[in-house]
Chains A and B, each alone.
Chain A
């Protein structure tokens, strides 16, 4: 699917109903962007709280279609943040359980559910999307899908939220976009008036290369050259490493049901991965389930990035995003070049 092939104007025209519905956002990103959204096909795999938040935002923006993918069922934990699945759907497939409310958000978007395991999906499956977002998978699976997406020119995002902590990684290959650059011009002064300057925006076309997900796997947070950065930003990158390691080793995420024991396991991994890091015991207290407001922040950021990618307006962040719930800082790190 289309990466650089079509920089030409999308062929669709918006209907009057669409123009009216999307009025407030068209005033922000313009008609052209709205038309590009109108053609975009998105895969969201992993319909937990984060999946639900991104799904909501993406559907509201007016994309062409969203495929909700999940093999898991709705559990009590989803009550903390997965608002697309009704409480009555406990035990049902999460993607299917989310369909009804997802569709109600915007009847103009084509929404479907897919419950086949990702491992069974052939490469062509991913090729039918413009953007793929994978939530809740192991690093191995993320690497595999990212490699397929690289091959097919599909934009790849991986993201997760643990409790109040969250991240995403964007693997966008070569991405071109338009960015407004603010300039000043002298306004034609009337006689007897001093010169005035006016701000105006010039759209500039740019192109950036994004490293693959493997760049994150290869990244060494203990490298000497990285320590200053780490001190400035806080230990978010370390924490992400710890949580992903936990998932790899224990084949699950920390659970509120075994809260104390899992905090112990997390500490052990931390002490092994980054013995002298600034990652405090306190920050291991809020990593359970998915806490709605934090999910809303990360889900908002991820959805906005997907919109940027689809509309090719403004630079997508490059390329690892960390949300620090302690300070509410959200920052990006360039991983791999």
Chain B
């Protein structure tokens, strides 16, 4: 039974609903709503997966969970609650990560349609790749505040999740964090690093001490001698006790000693405070070149703030989350949080564990709020309330029940379209706070957005250009920061293209000796082509290395996704199979016939609209008169020979046929939609609107 009552839905749809098998990825804000809609609509065969447990702050919208469920598995509780709405449904709950190895392509292939309701880009990218591989239609959804979005992703028909470049993750150069903060977020990042230095898992690149190797600290040659510590070789006076070692390559104080030192002085609040906020700042002041065009920091010492030592009791103001604490109050909060954290840490340490920073852990959050504000005070940066710092430190996306309900409703309505193969109806839909000029605030796209032929994921032979400082980046960083964090592979293998040299293996210990080598030491230099492969994702990618010398404030690498500029399409497919070549040529002819293929990077259909970086998602308005699409045009002018073809894993021949059929549909809809797109197409991801999504993956919808 259920819509489930015969006669409610038109007969064919009713049958399709009954016999379909669907997967819901994510049991958060959207996932709960999707699951409810599915069981009430009469879906019988449902699986749901989520690795998360229920938190109190979920309950304002994840309505399948109640207070008594806090701490329990989201997937399992969601299943129980949904079954009470329709006891006839069969639901399998997986309390697990969707990226786990047991959920391979064959798992995804079991389903007729997959609805993803995830809260982070890494998992979205992964599910996108798995669904492309499994050739299963994916309905991708997301919300942030009043904004919501639903889109169909189907191989060959639509753009995939990774066809459009996402807003760049906001990252900060180490020297800004360590030496010259100028925004509250710099101090917050520093404070989180400080937490990790003292109590957390030891993390690379999270030094909190002054960075003497900062290029800005190097004055003109004749003045260099005068600047203490400004010689960049790390033999000036050290900010910490003399017994500390120096990391000769970059002037870092070896971090383990900070932790040991704090322990040795028994976590004395005054001593620690003075080291971080007085001595280290005085050391920074001696790097005088930093302050020629910047306002110098003003050190603060413990005794001036807390003349009578600290109190044991948590004072009243410490719970006033909306108040901006004074620097004296920060010192008190610091002392109290330090005491609690130290005790917790020592207990963990005895078992070989460390603490991990959690925005919902009171002392951990207090510690970061207090330290960030003291540092802001020192550098004359606006201080923030604990409430605001929590948003920034925890990358909290505001979330409300209504947007999730609307978005999930649209997801399941689109599922009906997918089951009936009404592909042309599956245009992306956006939920907005304010109506556009047509009066719409639930806004469907004017047309289906087709695949980006240069997509580095769903294109036939994906390739990217990687601008990277091969003299400063080590193999380990290429793996962790580029391949895993940025390109979202799980277990990459890397070969030098055209050779048998394995630079990086996903097998443990096979290439460990390469980890600490710089890229250029491994002959990965300008013009090198790397062949990267992720077996689990069934994903191959060619990476063309383009070396550059990174400046002080530059990130060490940048991915240029549009490889088309490096591979002129006309001469490209020399080594491809005849079959592929025909398909491609056909596709190209069709595109040309529609005027879509008028040169690189201008195909409107496959090019993304740029959205403005907007941290205030509550007031993001898509302006109607902002009609014309802003094209993202890569500016790299390198020209490189087309990459030799490697073995292709995917590509069953039916897939090619299907792709052709679909192209027809796409074309006909092109003709109907000849006019300019009325609503601005943009992709608003929750993660796009965050301040620094890389710092932590959060669990919201």
Binding site for B on A (CB under 8 A): 16, 19-25, 27-29, 31, 49, 53, 56-57, 60-62, 76-77, 79-81, 83, 86-87, 104-107, 163-164, 180, 182, 190-192, 199, 201, 232-233, 256-257, 259, 285-286, 288-289, 291-297, 299-301, 303-304, 307, 314-315, 317, 323, 325-333
- The answer to whether A79 and B442 touch (CB under 8 A), given A199-B614, A297-B409, A300-B409, is no
Distance (whole angstroms) from the CB of B48 to the closest CB of chain A: 16
| Complex CA–CA separation, A190 to B182 (angstroms) | 11
* CA gap between A233 and B435 in the complex, in Å: 13
- Most chain A CB within a 10 A radius of its CB, from B6, B413, B433: B413
> Can you show 22 pairs from A to B with CB atoms below 8 A apart?
A21-B60, A24-B60, A24-B397, A28-B398, A49-B40, A60-B59, A60-B401, A201-B619, A286-B10, A289-B3, A291-B3, A292-B3, A293-B410, A297-B409, A297-B413, A300-B401, A303-B401, A303-B405, A328-B442, A328-B444, A329-B443, A330-B440
Query: When the two chains form their complex, are residues A323 and B36 in contact, meaning their CB atoms are under 8 A apart?
Result: no
* Given A24-B400, A24-B700, A60-B60; A327-B319 close (CB under 8 Å): no
State which of B294, B406, B441 has its C-beta within 8 Å of the C-beta of A296: B406
Whether B441 contacts A331 by the Cβ 8 Å rule is: yes
Interface size on B, residues (CB 8 A): 78
- Give the shortest distance, in Å, between B433 (CB) and chain A (any CB): 6
Q: Does B391 contact A (CB under 8 A)?
A: yes
Q: Does B469 contact A (CB under 8 A)?
A: no
Identify which of A29, A104, A295, A331 contacts B618 (C-beta below 8 A).
Answer: A29
* A56: B residues at CB distance < 8 A: 63, 401, 405
Is B9 engaged at the interface, CB distance under 8 Å to the other chain? yes
8 smallest CB-CB distances across A and B, nearest first, come from: A330-B442, A296-B409, A28-B398, A300-B405, A293-B412, A292-B40, A297-B409, A256-B7
| Contact between B41 and A105, CB atoms less than 8 A apart | no
| B87 sits at the interface (CB 8 A) | yes
Q: Which of B375-429 contact A (CB under 8 A)?
A: 391, 396-406, 408-416, 425, 427, 429
State how many angstroms separate the Cβ of A32 from the closest Cβ of chain B.
Answer: 11
Q: Chain A residues with Cβ under 8 A from B6's Cβ? A: 256
- Complex contact B440–A21 (CB within 8 A): no
Given A21-B56, A24-B60: A233 and B438 interface contact (C-beta under 8 Å): yes
| B367 interfacial by beta-carbon distance below 8 Å | no
Q: Which A residues touch B319, using CB under 8 A?
A: 16
Contact of B57 among A24, A295, A317 (CB under 8 A): A24
Q: Which B residues lie at the A interface, using CB under 8 A?
A: 1-10, 33, 36-37, 40-42, 56-57, 59-61, 63, 66-67, 84-87, 145-146, 150, 293-294, 319, 321-322, 391, 396-406, 408-416, 425, 427, 429, 433-435, 438-444, 612, 614, 616-619, 621, 700
Q: Would A31 and B322 be within 8 Å (CB), given that A24-B396, A296-B33, A301-B406 are in contact?
A: yes
6 more contacts with CB within 8 A, not counting A25-B400, A182-B621, A328-B444, are A24-B61, A28-B400, A81-B40, A180-B616, A199-B612, A328-B413
Q: Which residues of B contact A301 (CB under 8 A)?
A: 402, 406, 442
* Chain A neighbourhood of B5, CB < 8 A: 76-77, 79-80, 256, 289
CA distance A300 to B411 in the complex (A): 14
CB distance from A166 to the nearest CB of B (A): 10
How far, in angstroms, from A25 to B29 measured CA to CA in the complex? Answer: 12
Q: Is the CB of A61 within 8 A of B60?
A: yes
CB distance from A261 to the nearest CB of B (A): 12
Chain B residue numbers with a CB within 8 Å of A106 are: 59
Residue of A nearest to B85 (CB): A83
Q: Is the CB of B63 within 8 A of A105?
A: yes
Q: A325 — which chain B residues lie within 8 A by C-beta? A: 413
B37's partner among A259, A296, A328 (CB-CB below 8 A) is A296
B67 touches A107 (CB 8 A): yes
Question: Are A294 and B413 in contact, with the CB atoms below 8 A?
Answer: yes
**Pairwise interchain contact A293-B409, C-beta atoms closer than 8 A:** yes
Query: A299 with B405: in contact, given A24-B61, A61-B60, A286-B9 (CB under 8 Å)?
Result: yes
Contacts of B87 in A (CB 8 A): 87
A27-B396 contact, Cβ under 8 Å, with A80-B41, A332-B435 = yes
Across the interface, A21 reaches (CB within 8 A) one of B57, B145, B150, B700, namely B57
CB of B86 to closest CB in A, whole Å: 7
> Please, how many angstroms separate the alpha-carbon atoms of A190 and B380 in the complex?
14
Please measure, in the bound complex, the distance between the C-alpha atom of A41 and the C-alpha atom of B86, giving whole angstroms.
31
